[in-house]
Amino acid sequence: MIVDLRSDTVTRPPREMLDAMLAAELGDDVLGDDPTVHRLEAMAAERMGKEAAVYVPSGTMANQIAVQVWTQPGDAILVEQDAHVLFYESGGPGVHSGVVTFTLPSDNGVMDPSVVESRITKATEHTPGTTLLCVENTHNRAGGTVVPLEFMRAYREVADRHGLRVHLDGARIFNAAAALGVEAKQIAAFADTVSFCLSKGLSCPVGSLVCGPAEKMEHAHRLRKRMGGAMRQAGLLAACGIYALDNLVERLADDHRRAREFAEHVNGRDGLCVDFDTVQTNIVRVRTDSPATDWQKRLEEKGVRCFATGPNSLRFVFHREVDDEQTAFAKKVLSEIAG
């Protein structure tokens, strides 16, 4: 048995999703006439409570488009110091938007609103003006942690006082919604734009969406073209997103349950430790007392794949293709190795 816990991006389409691809009505999305893409974008906008949405190939492109629609070269943006937009998007804000990025500390991915407010700068001949706050929910590098609604509300209030816009990197927003017991649109309501990923827990092979005001999404279409993200018969892929939004959102709670069970089993094993404050959704970070790469290699030899995310840190991500039997197998392997 092989249990792949490296990421929820390894998920493959279920048979029903492949059938939806085969049945998809197609057009040319670059020419604006792919009906399946139109349907997905309308669904995404409705789920996020926004006027419009644009289908793009990746979450990185969605975030970079959002930054660009709200900024001008020389502006400043605020991001959490371990944010995806900072760590995993190849310097995109500087390259695409020409902005200065100010980073802020956090408590497991949750920034202090007063600290956010203290770092806002006004445009002068010497300093860049802050025009955008980026929030990540759930927070990847913090371990899939959730930003509570009261903090989202506080960020909105800070932004409104100072004339900032808010972009929500909601790559795993449906995981956040499941953990909070709310609809995704209740989280997105505090942001001007929101992006979310289809190819993580929702099991699609490709794709993300950026959602926001209709006028800004018209601009987003132009930016998508400029970045090389416009696709032709994209309805083949958009059909996967439609299936996922209709059928695979509610089951995310099962991933959270299995992640918690796994964390409870692992914690306290010889050489291993889990910070349960960070086990909030489908990601489990495990501290190791010896090199994490050694643990990763030994686990893979026995059929459990994970990532070493630091010298003494392993990451395990639960998803649709890891059921109770596979979770039990992963726990058994950890027990054999750790004792």
pLDDT digit string (tens) for 173-214? 999 999 999 999 999 999 999 999 999 999 999 999 999 999
Q: Once rounded to an integer, what is the mean pLDDT over residues 95-108?
A: 97
**HEC secondary structure over 104-161:** ECCECCECCHHHHHHCCCCCCCCCCCEEEEEEECCECCCCCECCCHHHHHHHHHHHHH
Q: How many CB atoms lie within 10 A of CB 121?
A: 17
Measure the CA–CA gap between 144 and 164, rounded to whole angstroms.
26
Looking at the chain, the whole-number percentage of residues with pLDDT higher than 70 is 100
Can you list the domains of the chain with their CATH numbers? 11-247 (3.40.640.10), 251-338 (3.90.1150.10)
Check: CB of residue 168 under 8 Å from CB of residue 197: no
Measure the CA–CA gap between 114 and 104, rounded to whole angstroms.
11
Record the tokens describing residue 206, joined without a space.
Answer: 């490709």
- pLDDT exceeds cutoff 90 at 339: no
Q: What is the pLDDT of residue 268?
A: 83
Measure the CA–CA gap between 100 and 77, rounded to whole angstroms.
6
Q: What is the pLDDT of residue 338?
A: 83
pLDDT digit string (tens) for 20-59? 999 999 999 999 999 999 999 999 999 999 999 999 999 9
Measure the CA–CA gap between 15 and 314, rounded to whole angstroms.
31
pLDDT digit string (tens) for 248-303? 999 999 999 999 999 999 998 888 999 999 999 999 999 999 999 999 999 999 99
Contact residues for 245 (Cβ-Cβ < 8 A; gap 6+): 40, 43, 44, 47, 202
pLDDT digit string (tens) for 125-149? 999 999 999 999 999 999 999 999 9
